[in-house]
């Protein structure tokens, strides 16, 4: 007679690893509390209030999601943001208010996997993370429209009118 069980326990799914980057301590605490309280399969592996540490942490840990407050990203500078998330594993979820969202360059939106507004209901953060991990993008209608609308070429790149000479005959 054996006292042990031959049944194996189901393997636990690995936790989603998230880094939080925001300049307000209350924002960091609130996001961390929300993520821990709503979904136990999300693990906040680091949080920081500056971009230099964010870049270092992403390079060292390759998290699944980087939740980045756009206010810290140099105003949405595409080159700066692409440097932070230079690995192919980490997905970028931007956090911004409606005013900041209007100022985002379309190229920044193309780098990101999603955008959540600070004014959105709390469950949007959870839904966004779940959808992004499932391979979907998470943008509101205005951001979607900006992603699909071609932006005018810079003035210098626009074709100049042909040079016409008038002959005086």
Q: What is the pLDDT of residue 167?
A: 44
Among the residue ranges 28-32, 122-126, 145-149, the one predicted with the least confidence is: 145-149
pLDDT over 50 at 153, yes or no? no
Q: Which pLDDT score is estimated for 110?
A: 79
- Span 22-80, pLDDT tens digits: 988 898 998 898 888 755 688 899 999 988 888 899 999 999 999 998 887 555 566 66
pLDDT at 149: 52
Q: What is the DSSP string of 21-78?
A: E-S-HHHHHHHHHHHHHH-TTEEEEEEESSHHHHHHHHHHH--SEEEEEGGGTTTT-H
- Sketch out the chain's domains with CATH numbers: 16-148 (3.40.50.2300)
CB 133 within 8 A of CB 65: yes
Determine the Cα–Cα distance for residues 151 and 111; give it in Å rounded to an integer. 17
CB 18 within 8 A of CB 28: no
Q: How many CB atoms lie within 10 A of CB 101?
A: 21
Q: Can you say how many angstroms the Cα of residue 92 is from the centroid of all Cα atoms in its chain?
A: 3
Alpha-carbon 43 to chain mean position: 17
């Amino acid at each position: 007679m054996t006292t042990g069980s031959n049944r194996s326990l189901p393997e636990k799914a690995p936790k989603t690893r998230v880094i939080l980057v925001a300049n307000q301590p209350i924002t960091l605490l609130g996001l961390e509390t929300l993520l821990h309280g709503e979904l136990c399969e999300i693990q906040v592996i680091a949080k920081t209030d500056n971009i230099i540490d964010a870049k270092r942490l992403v390079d060292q840990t390759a998290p699944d999601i980087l939740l980045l407050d756009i206010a810290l990203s140099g105003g949405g500078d595409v080159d700066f943001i692409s440097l932070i998330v230079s690995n192919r594993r980490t997905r970028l979820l931007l956090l911004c208010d409606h005013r900041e969202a209007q100022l985002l360059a379309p190229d920044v939106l193309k780098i990101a996997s999603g955008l959540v507004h600070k004014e959105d209901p709390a469950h949007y953060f959870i839904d966004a993370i779940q959808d992004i991990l499932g391979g979907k993008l998470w943008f509101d209608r205005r951001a979607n429209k900006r992603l699909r609308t071609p932006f005018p070429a810079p003035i210098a790149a626009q074709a100049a009118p042909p040079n016409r000479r008038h002959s005086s005959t």
